[in-house]
A and B are shown apart, each in its own frame.
Chain A
Amino acid sequence: MTKTIDAVQDQFETFQILSEDGEVVNESAMPKLSDDQLQELMRRMVYTRIWDQRAISLNRQGRLGFYAPVAGQEASMLGSHFALDKEDWILPGYRDIPQIVFHGFPLYQAFLWSRGHFQGGQIPEGVNVLMPQIIIGAQIIQAAGVGFGLKKQGKKNVCITYTGDGGASQGDFYEGLNFAGAYAANAIFVVQNNRFAISVPVEKQSAAKTIAQKAVAAGIEGIQVDGMDVLAVYAATQQARERAIAGEGPTLIETLTYRYGPHTMAGDDPTRYRTKDLDSEWEKKDPLVRFRKFLEKKNLWSEEQENKVVEEAKEDIKASIKKADGAPKQKVTDLINFMFEELPYNLREQLEQYTAKESK
């Protein structure tokens, strides 16, 4: 007799459309994207790769503050985001800055968020994203709430949330999936399984063979996707979105991916817990290389186009850093004013004290 757990786990095969050589291996699953859309996907991934490189260098110069590198995860991040509608909501983790920027959050504010400036949290009106979450998994259960709210309002929109393989160990992860399932909320949960929660390998996080199978216990759909394959990530998210807005409930998407860099730029050293062999094994699966090959075969991408995006990204970053530099020096009095709609006596007193202190 097959053990139940084996029977369940065997159901979760990795969904892929493009092979590592950029060949279509799953024709029937090919999403319907125009040439322009395909090029736009590539443009966003190249842009993000350059942005990541610049951010790392700015961090090393002491000009950026907190930064969690994203290289390697572009397909997981941007492929899933590409399936969204402008009115959809994003509840990001701390690494998921590219998605919110492509959803309309200005880049200079992303830099201010990195620097720990309150203007980095001031999401412009009409941009349906939250500030990047720091507490691992806290966003997951909130996503069930936003997704339920959208459903109650009869909106044909979804809430997508992101976490990593480590986040899938938090209680909030299970509660979020379960609540969203119980209310058939308009929610999509993306777990970017980059194999390491800081230093702890995914094999030590759980006895489960896949994270996708954790959907089963919550009674919702789950799928494991090749997270280095931007078309597969897009297609899986797009289908999840269709199901959610049709009232068929939430989906858990596990993307198999890798972060090339450290966990964050604050002193993490991946050589303490990862081998060079593993790094190069994953670099061979690189999402940009793979998609570039695919597009080149269709004559949809050239070195010239690539260079143009690189220049555009560099210019944007330069201008955005300059704009971030122009933000007013953050004061304690600013922060006091954000504590309540109306300040109680203690904060009114302290506002006076700090106004005096800061004017010295």
Chain B
Amino acid sequence: MAQMTMIQAITDAMRNELKNNENVLVFGEDVGQNGGVFRATEGLQKEFGEDRVFDTPLAESGIGGLAIGLGLTGFRPVMEIQFFGFVFEVFDSIAAQMARMRYRSGGVYNSPVTIRSPFGGGVKTPELHADSLEGLMYQTPGIKVVIPATPYDAKGLLISAIRDNDPVVYLEHMKLYRSFRGEVPEEEYTIELGKADVKREGKDVSIITYGAMVHASLKAADELEKDGISAEVIDLRTISPLDIDTIIASVEKTGRAIVVQEAQKQAGIGAFVVAEINDRAILNLEAPVLRVTAPDTVFPYASAEDVWIPDHRDIVDKAKKVYNF
């Protein structure tokens, strides 16, 4: 099996789908000759030609509208938003148009669009590049939201996203792009959207998380183990729809849970997960479900992000709080 970084796995998934289906198109700002500003589309234009992998003019709303139109004419667009902090420019296309195409046409039309975009923080980008806006997507009925945390998941989830007949926002945490390698099969495989993955089994407390916080949570679980606390780490992988069965099964087992997100407390999906647990498993709970989040400010300027972004120590503290409740 090959060892790949997450960004290599993402490129590999696009290559697979460009080969697999001639209607797959990859486009966005600088994705062609330049291979994307993070090099996610490196080599794809050369391999598949400018007809299939192409640069767009610099306009995010234009890219979104183009994807809708190409989707209506039988193509399977994989569009890139250079940084998810720029999503506001294309919000109408995503939230008001793609997300409603199937509904508004009574099922006649659909938007089989995959929206790939780097998000999250911790890599000292200029302002408005880093952000955790996945909650806005979660709150938009009609789109699926996928957030991989490992190279293996990244490939299988992206292939599934591209093959999905509804719009999928596929968010790639910038800090995970090249921070480690993992085993990725060279052949194609899919991971079902909407399925979480238990990244570590435990019996005392459930840590429900996604994105870069999966790794902070695993580190926290190591720490907790030293103190005799067995933590289960659930990587949601898809935040919309949530894999409610996996969440509830874990909470029923442990009786204690925390939700961890890099996003601000008022953003992200932490509150939704807590509400679902309360609705479905409140009698199993031994303690309130707590959240580890960033504070409710705008995503901070680069030189403050190390303190702002939650880390494994914050997770350990909260896990102990529910454990000792």
Contact = CB atoms under 8 A, between A and B. Distances in A.
Given A66-B126, A135-B128, A205-B57, A330 B297 contact: no
Interface stretch (B101-109, B154-162, B240-248, B302-310): B302-310
B89 A170 contact: yes
B58 interface: yes
Interface residues of B, number: 37
A127 B124 CA distance: 28
Given A197-B58, A272-B34, A339-B298, A332 B307 contact: yes
Most A CB contacts (10 A, CB to CB) among B35, B55, B56 go to: B55
A267 B29 contact: no
A198 B55 CA distance: 11
Nearest to B266: A346
B199 to A, nearest CB: 27
A357 interface: yes
A358 B298 CA distance: 18
Interface string B287-325: 000000001111011111001100000000000000000
A239 interface: no
B57 A116 contact: no
Contacts of A171: 59, 61-62, 89
Q: What is the interface of chain B mostly: helix, strand, loop, or mixed?
A: loop
Interface string B38-64: 000000000000000001111101100
Contact of B58 (A200, A268, A336, A346): A200
A336 B297 contact: yes
Contacts of A169: 57-59, 62
Interface residues of A, number: 43
Contacts of B34: 198-200, 272-273
B275 interface: no
B136 interface: no
Interface string B211-248: 00000000000000000000000000000000000000
B298 A350 contact: no
B57 A335 contact: no
A135 B33 CA distance: 23
Contacts of B303: 65, 115-117, 329-330
9 contacts: A116-B126, A166-B58, A169-B57, A171-B59, A198-B37, A266-B125, A268-B37, A336-B297, A346-B266
Nearest 7 A/B pairs, CB to CB: A116-B302, A199-B34, A166-B58, A169-B57, A116-B301, A350-B295, A134-B128
Interface of B: 29-30, 32-35, 37, 55-59, 61-62, 85-86, 88-89, 124-129, 265-266, 295-298, 300-304, 307-308
Given A335-B300, A335-B301, A347-B295, 5 more contacts: A65-B302, A166-B57, A169-B58, A200-B30, A206-B57
